[in-house]
Structure 1
């Protein structure tokens, strides 16, 4: 089970909730997700409860007292917690960690010390040196870990070629307390070549009357309210130009592929704004309240034949698997395999990809597997580790022990590939083996076309030597 602690309203916006909901949707195949939210508005509560569980918390500024109450009521070893917000600082994290629960922080400020097991910051050009964190805290940084809603993950995997710009998409998030939506709309209205202006507002937007007045005077305006993710993605794909802030909405725009005019209106957007504009993912409007939207629209019209954007290079649509791998690695546990695991190992051994990547690639009969397994499972010259998440088997690592070394073999269940878990199960197994056999050299043998395993062994710091069709890896 994963508990999400995040808030959202018309004062602070809905960015934290939207981001956490996107992550929960990614995790939902393997985890039950529960949202802990202070006094959510009815529309927000309904949105969360469409797919996940909601616990309504009382409104309070006494966050440490709240953390203690949550720890006492909900948390224990084996549970996972996600904190997404600026009130969940070091002291709050300390209370959560004291329960034994796994902790993940979603961050975009790197402004305090982190005790979490993992920190996710999907802003580009963020570096580990900017963080103060515990030695065992894993940092997952950059758009390869982009927290995107499902339709945008799919869109990121599709190539897009933009026609001549005639349709504009405008969105400043679910709240837009500065009413920049109206400012951007008025700028877009100045251009006669614009055929349609699609304007999206959220459940916390409080200036709908102004937009309605503009729409009554200009039939190019189309007003959309509280769209779901698929509706939002479809609307973006009908437009060529987008105007929006350097926030989560900008990542969704980049995933679809559009001319993006972006800026900032609060300090925590400046870092992402610099990344987007420096890497030619969007045109720089600067500080939005005093921005240069009209000038940039003119630039887009004049430069439409120039492919200045490189959005698809930064958003590959594979971030969901990487994010899921972070949580599975925190939830899974390592144990010694037993005789009862023989059928499971047989299934894994004859998996088509496993056979293709094995040095001996012939299909294994059940009779041969039984002999092989029974002669090794209780033999001290072999060590079998198995990884499970609850009752679900994730993968296995085994070692063949000799006087001087230990030869490693591993595999993942097909459901858990592409998530970065090969690195996780190997690193944990090697640490465990080092306690049993501290002087052993670890050896791996990998086919040269097994790129995933080649990458894992290199990442683990093994030295490598190619010999014909295989590569030998060694680590003392």
Structure 2
């Protein structure tokens, strides 16, 4: 049987002034979706195609837009399952215009300075919380906030255990385009400090100051290497013991690798990331001038214990699996349960592990189960959803009305899907679906104290423990 692949259309731009970060993190997500069999398309302007050569070699279909900010330019294309918007110049007006065209909308943002119309919003800023977007997204939107959701390339997710690399090489990476030539200032600072260590400089091929940087690099002792459009940054970072880097997405890559860093802000949208790095002790933030950079480099280079502490704190901020978890959410299908699900639901309910974690631990008789299912399916005050990946059922979520504007929720994951993150994805998307259908309501859940796995899932989905009695924990999530 031939199945039609899922589709995602990415809307992101790049230029010497915008940088390439928006496009690169979209490419990271596209690579993860492509690995799962999705068809991915990129819609961008002509300058983006010139600025990001990686687009030409990526497994994506490229669409050049003449009227880049006109939603009608996209609406003329075949509609995707997911529209992914990563653009500071676009907001809810653009997204609303495409809401009936795309099945779902994902927004990538880190400014929280304008409203969005979306199903999922991801903000990978260090220390960011979902509360940052209160009033800026629909009540049903899933907000994924914090460095744990960072979209990092697979080579970072697969990085080995944390270790402190000897200080025998320094990395300088200050953005793919670096329009202000921060790289040149960093090289002058390194010359002033005189550490005498090999230096690897990374830039994009479209960087306007590339030749000037090459000239400065040739004057360092030893001469620094200038690498253009590096494909495997994780391997390069693994060779370095110290870095000078921008406080953008690359800062999260350095955190994942446990690479001690001097971080600088080279764009306004990096200020919150820089504050988070400093607050968490994951980098030493410096002003962007030669003297300040020289002082910071000298300080870190001369303190091995400080570098070791910084490496550990940085590494703890993200595990590199943000793209995989986001793809899990996007790939999940939810539907109302039907009579045809009866046998599977009975098998899940009577599974020994499920029974041990249920409030009612006795095995359910077949006739009792099917009578219960008939009542649930006929009751408008109950909603039973089935989650599927590629047509395979992976669990169910049940919502029961308790009182006005309050619903009780319970989750059951198929035995074969346990330990794979299915429960969190299932609950996350089911809650969003319910809120979209019935409006803002409060949710409550009852969980056995001896069931830490379920407790972890609910906490990750925004539920807070409200009470405890007789070894039962009562959790609540307010949506009004």
Pairing 1:4-19 to 2, within 5 Å after superposition: 4-19=10-25
| Deviation readout 1:39-79 (Å, 9 max, x if unpaired) | 26667676235443223223446x1xx21231242337xx2
Gaps of 5+ in 2: 1-6
Pairing 1:126-145 to 2, within 5 Å after superposition: 126-127=128-129, 128-129=131-132, 132-133=135-136, 134-145=138-149
Report the Cα offset of residue 123 of structure 1. Answer: 1.0
Structure 1: distance between partners of 2:433 and 2:179: 51
Structure 2: distance between partners of 1:110 and 1:401: 34
Give the SS at the match of 1:233: helix
Structure 2: distance between partners of 1:474 and 1:209: 59
In 1, are the aligned partners of 2:399 and 2:410 still within 8 Å (CA)? Answer: yes
Report the Cα offset of residue 20 of structure 1. Answer: 1.0
2:55 aligned with 1:55: no
Give the SS at the match of 2:77: helix
Structure 1: distance between partners of 2:277 and 2:436: 43
In 1, are the aligned partners of 2:277 and 2:283 still within 8 Å (CA)? Answer: yes
Structure 1: distance between partners of 2:271 and 2:400: 53
Residues 409 and 232 (structure 1), Cα distance of their counterparts in 2 relative to 1, 3 Å cut:
closer
Structure 2: distance between partners of 1:90 and 1:387: 29
Structure 1: distance between partners of 2:195 and 2:444: 66
Residue matched to 2:41? 34
In 2, are the aligned partners of 1:254 and 1:281 still within 8 Å (CA)? Answer: yes
In 1, are the aligned partners of 2:385 and 2:430 still within 8 Å (CA)? Answer: no
Report the Cα offset of residue 189 of structure 1. Answer: 3.0
2:227 aligned with 1:224: yes
Stretch of structure 1 that moved more, 301-310 or 253-262: 301-310
Residues 159 and 466 (structure 1), Cα distance of their counterparts in 2 relative to 1, 3 Å cut:
farther
Structure 2: distance between partners of 1:169 and 1:81: 36
Residues 75 and 255 (structure 1), Cα distance of their counterparts in 2 relative to 1, 3 Å cut:
same
Structure 1: distance between partners of 2:211 and 2:126: 36
Residue matched to 2:161? 158
2:152 aligned with 1:148: yes
Residues 407 and 81 (structure 1), Cα distance of their counterparts in 2 relative to 1, 3 Å cut:
closer
Residue matched to 1:338? 339
Residue matched to 2:196? 194
Output the TM-score relative to the length of structure 1: 0.79
Give the SS at the match of 1:195: coil
Structure 2: distance between partners of 1:386 and 1:132: 30
In 1, are the aligned partners of 2:83 and 2:102 still within 8 Å (CA)? Answer: no
Report the Cα offset of residue 347 of structure 1. Answer: 7.2
| Deviation readout 1:157-206 (Å, 9 max, x if unpaired) | 7222243x231001112111222222212322344433210111113223
Give the SS at the match of 2:101: coil
Structure 2: distance between partners of 1:99 and 1:16: 23
In 1, are the aligned partners of 2:92 and 2:117 still within 8 Å (CA)? Answer: yes
Q: 314, 318, 321: which one pairs with 2:317?
A: 314
Residues 407 and 260 (structure 1), Cα distance of their counterparts in 2 relative to 1, 3 Å cut:
closer
2:266 aligned with 1:273: no
Residues 442 and 180 (structure 1), Cα distance of their counterparts in 2 relative to 1, 3 Å cut:
closer
In 2, are the aligned partners of 1:40 and 1:56 still within 8 Å (CA)? Answer: no
2:303 aligned with 1:303: yes
Residues 302 and 6 (structure 1), Cα distance of their counterparts in 2 relative to 1, 3 Å cut:
same
Report the Cα offset of residue 34 of structure 1. Answer: 1.8
Give the SS at the match of 2:73: helix
Report the Cα offset of residue 138 of structure 1. Answer: 3.1
Structure 1: distance between partners of 2:390 and 2:271: 41
In 1, are the aligned partners of 2:171 and 2:243 still within 8 Å (CA)? Answer: yes
Residues 300 and 70 (structure 1), Cα distance of their counterparts in 2 relative to 1, 3 Å cut:
same
Give the SS at the match of 1:243: strand
Report the Cα offset of residue 131 of structure 1. Answer: 5.2
Structure 1: distance between partners of 2:241 and 2:301: 11
Residues 273 and 325 (structure 1), Cα distance of their counterparts in 2 relative to 1, 3 Å cut:
same
Give the SS at the match of 1:113: coil
Residue matched to 2:182? 180
Report the Cα offset of residue 148 of structure 1. Answer: 1.3
In 2, are the aligned partners of 1:254 and 1:312 still within 8 Å (CA)? Answer: yes
Residue matched to 1:257? 258
Report the Cα offset of residue 236 of structure 1. Answer: 0.5
Residue matched to 1:283? 284
Q: 95, 101, 109: which one pairs with 2:103?
A: 101
Report the Cα offset of residue 93 of structure 1. Answer: 1.6
Residues 285 and 358 (structure 1), Cα distance of their counterparts in 2 relative to 1, 3 Å cut:
same
In 2, are the aligned partners of 1:324 and 1:419 still within 8 Å (CA)? Answer: no
Give the SS at the match of 1:169: strand
Pairing 1:340-419 to 2, within 5 Å after superposition: 341=341, 344-345=344-345, 357=357, 377-378=373-374, 385-388=385-388, 391-397=391-397, 408=410, 410-412=412-414, 413-414=417-418, 417=421
Report the Cα offset of residue 120 of structure 1. Answer: 1.4
Report the Cα offset of residue 334 of structure 1. Answer: 2.2
**How many pairs align?**
450
Give the SS at the match of 2:286: strand
Give the SS at the match of 1:314: coil
Report the Cα offset of residue 235 of structure 1. Answer: 0.8
Structure 1: distance between partners of 2:222 and 2:458: 60
Gaps of 5+ in 1: none
